[in-house]
Amino acid sequence: MRRFTRVLIVAHCLGLPLWSMMALAEPAKRVISIGGDITEILFAIGAGDRIVAVDTTSRYPAAALALPNVGYMRQLSAEPILALAPDHIIAVADSGPKEVIAILRQAGVRFTEIPDAPSVEGALAKIRAVAAAADSVEAGAAFASSISARIDAALAAVPQGQAKPRALFLFSVGRGGLMAGGETSSADAMIQLAGGRNIATGFSGYKPFEPEAMLAADPEIIIVTERTMAALGGVEEIRAQPQFAATQAARTGRIVAFDGALLLGFGARLASGIEHLTAAFYPEAARPSGKPE
């Protein structure tokens, strides 16, 4: 009874609906995780053994890649999901389509949508919400506390009183060219958290970034995803391309690559992302231990 009451209180504080409060009293044994950040959190809090399937954005940890895949988080289909007989689907906000989610709920599958905000507070809230949905409240609280401490330490290493490095985040979209992370994007939030200044301004979200704009902005450091780095042929190939060659970042070789989910996920690996991006911005001041997670 005490456990049931505690779960009700936590679910209420998280703003979950009444039916979710009741469902949280019994832990799910067959969970489908939708969203790479959700999957990472579930594994981090020790609930990975309950996951029976993931979506295509769930690529970390390695164990997630061995699980059945139900497709892209915004293009889900009900049939393959229901075929796996899940008793709980935990999905990041904006998963869909809405019609499919409605079908899943009508079929009696518990569906919990987790809020997503590109901020430290949003990441910690996400961890606690996923933990509550997975009936691992205490593990989630402990993990959120450890992540918060690491983030505080990383931010304390950011030098004060000096000019912030001008940074640009880019990722490739196949033959469609390069997209830049503008204002209000996860990339913008990460750049600011790590003590940089995002030069992709005047637009929100992610948009194509023209060569002329790149030359005019003259970034000191260019951040790309690992997939983009591979697609463009590596640092030296990027430096040689006309659209990059005249920038300060290309002249000094400050072109760095990160796992996209690590940098933009705002979940279980947020502390690691901040630590390593801060080190890229301020190599003389920030020294993260080990490789990015």
The 10s digit of each residue's pLDDT in 101-121 is: 999 999 999 999 999 999 999
Q: How far apart are CA 242 and CA 215, in angstroms?
A: 10
CB atoms within 10 A of CB 59: 16
Q: Has residue 23 got a pLDDT over 80?
A: no
15 pLDDT tier (thresholds 50, 70, 90):
low
The pLDDT confidence band at residue 160, using thresholds 50, 70 and 90, is confident
Residues 98-102: what's their mean pLDDT?
A: 97
* Predicted pLDDT of residue 163: 92
Q: Among 195, 193, 263, which Cα is nearest to 223's? A: 263
CATH superfamily of 166-281: Nitrogenase molybdenum iron protein domain (3.40.50.1980)
CA distance 193 to 4: 38
Predicted local confidence at residue 284, as pLDDT: 81
Q: What is the pLDDT of residue 1?
A: 42
pLDDT of residue 292: 78
265-286: pLDDT as tens digits: 999 999 999 999 999 999 887 6
CA separation for the pair 14, 37 (Å, rounded) = 18
Domain segments of the chain as ranges: 2-153, 166-281
Question: Does the pLDDT value for residue 14 go beyond 70?
Answer: no
Name the pTM for this structure. Answer: 0.87
CATH superfamily of 2-153: Nitrogenase molybdenum iron protein domain (3.40.50.1980)
Which residue bears the tokens 């880019």?
170
Q: Residue 167 pLDDT more than 80?
A: yes
Longest CA pairwise span in the chain (Å): 67
**CA–CA separation, 131 vs 221, rounded Å?**
36
Alpha-carbon distances of 218 from 101, 166, 208, rounded to whole Å: 44, 8, 16
